[in-house]
Amino acid sequence: MSVFSSKRRTLISAAAMVALTPLLSACGKEEPTFIGSDITGTELGKDLAMVDGSGQLRTLTDYKGKVVVVFFGFTQCPDVCPTAMAELSQTMELLGENAAQVQVLMISVDPERDTPEILSAYVSAFNPDFVGLTGTPEQLSTTAKSFKTYYAKSPGATPEQYSMDHASSFYIIDQEGEARVLISGNASAQDIANDINQLL
């Protein structure tokens, strides 16, 4: 009798687990699969504090509720920056209606020449919803360190003709302001859109 009861209990437990499996999987949100590197938990960008085109100081808190894509560059960049911004413009097109839930920020590594007005006009040429952020050298230094990104002045023929060396990756930050993805600056618009969609 006890053997029968034990078998019966096992069958009932198994049946209960089969019945609960769909409910359990529905409770847990599926983990995102990023094309870029997963940087969840790094807290990169927490100290972002730069000035927008209207002269307003901006931090990540201002963009809560949106997925934020951050790119470091400068307006006199000959090739890498315009190519990256064009890819981000195409990314927004691929996102369709979801683009309204995304904010692209270009942070200037050349605050000496990139005034809020100049930078704002530059990013708007790629997409009217893009935001350019600049500021003092100190604000840039703090923000760049927060993202663990690199930039440096590269001397030119004259002091005014310098260029800027800089890292060119895209940082994708979720709607809660947490850094989640670091994706190559050479990534296609399709790949960037894929990783953004994982967070929407």
- CA-based nearest residue to 45, from 59, 35, 64, 65: 59
In sequence order, the β-bridge partners of residue 72 are 107
Q: What is the DSSP letter of 114?
A: -
CA distances from 36 to 98, 164, 177, 188 (A): 20, 25, 18, 11
Query: Is 81 part of any known ligand binding site?
Result: yes
d(CA 177, CA 157): 41
What's the chain's length in residues? Answer: 200
Query: Is 166 part of any known ligand binding site?
Result: yes
Structure tokens at 79: 């090739």
Summarize the annotated binding site as residue ranges.
Answer: 77, 81, 166
Summarize the annotated binding site for Cu cation as residue ranges.
Answer: 77, 81, 166
